[in-house]
Amino acid sequence: MIEDNIQVLRQAAKISQDSPEERLWCVIAGNDKLVDDIAYRAIASKHNVKILFREHVILKEDRFSKKFDFIMLNGLAKNIYNFKEICKSNGGAFIQISPKLIANEPNLMVFVAPDDIIKKCVNNIEQNKISFGILSEDQTTGFIEADLNVGVNLPNFAKSALKPFYNVSDVVLSLILVSVDDEKDIDKVQSIATQSKIFVIDFKDINMED
């Protein structure tokens, strides 16, 4: 009886999974080395994966500039699953979006930013009485590159000596997939996020035919 139940659960899990030939979207964030590797593999995938866009970001905060990259892909599920494994084994953040999710949650946005900024932004959205939900989230575990800003007066040898200490993994980068309940609130959410220096991917701006 127990074995029969296990077989039923296994079969249900297989049915619920995306088909390997289904096309999915994903966003991957991390340092430039990881995203360079992902971009190369996407280009070499024989048209099974398309790069929708890639961004290199420099955020200037107080004494430091934080540098990171993110990329959005559309491709066959089997390829996207492979990219997820590469991403996670190299300390990146990964969010996957399926056609079913887009059909059921029409007001979707992905936020990309350091974790502390994301949390403050989510709190601000909530304080504005906007009804929304976080459907998925992920964080980097590898380092995000940081540099001392030009205005910080230190000798070059001192900056070089300090670099290993500020290129550390405590600069956590987050991805969150947000669903806004009411379409009229989308512009408000985008405005709050943009003012917080968060990069917003609005699925209304993505060509679903890609």
Report, as an integer, the average pLDDT of 54-76: 85
53 is written with which tokens? 């866009």
Mean pLDDT confidence for 3-21: 47
Reported confidence tier of residue 62, pLDDT bands at 50, 70, 90: low
What pLDDT is stored for residue 172 in this prediction?
86
Q: Answer yes or no: pTM beyond 0.85.
A: no
Q: Kindly state the average pLDDT of the residues 132-156.
A: 73
- Residue 210 placed within a domain: no
Task: Please check whether residue 179 is in contact with residue 163, taking contact to mean a CB–CB distance below 8 angstroms.
Answer: no
Q: Which of 1-5, 33-37, 81-85, 97-101 has the lowest mean pLDDT?
A: 1-5
| CA–CA separation, 175 and 94 (whole Å) | 7
Phi-psi region of 121 (alpha: psi -120 to 50; beta: other; left: phi over 0): alpha
Please report the pLDDT score of residue 40 as a whole number. Answer: 97
Computed over every residue of the chain, the mean pLDDT equals 82
Instruction: Report if residue 209 sits inside a domain.
Output: no
The confidence band for 170, taking pLDDT boundaries of 50, 70 and 90, is: low
User: What average pLDDT does this structure show over 118-140?
Assistant: 95
Which of 75, 105, 76 is closest to 203 using CA atoms? 105
Task: DSSP for 147-209, please give it.
Answer: EE-TTS---HHHHHHHHHHHSSTTS-EEEEEEEESSGGGHHHHHHHHHHTT-EEEEGGGS-TT
Residue 171 has pLDDT above 90, yes or no: no
134 and 178 Cβ atoms separated by less than 8 Å: yes
Amino acid code (one letter) for 107? N
- Rounded to an integer, the average pLDDT of 165-194 is 84
Average pLDDT over residues 142-152: 62
Rounded to whole angstroms, the Cα distance separating 162 from 170 reads: 15
In a domain, 19, yes or no: yes
Q: How many domains does the chain have?
A: 1
Determine how many CB atoms are found less than 10 A away from the CB of residue 25.
25
What is the rounded average pLDDT of the residues 168-192? Answer: 88
Which CATH number characterizes residue 110's domain?
3.30.70.1150
**Does residue 18 lie within any of the structural domains?**
yes
Assess whether pLDDT exceeds 80 at residue 131: yes
What domain range is 64 assigned to?
Answer: 2-204
Rounded alpha-carbon distances, angstroms, from residue 198 to 22, 42, 166, 177, 193: 30, 25, 21, 13, 5
Query: For residue 140, is pLDDT > 50?
Result: yes
Query: Is 99 within the bounds of a domain?
Result: yes
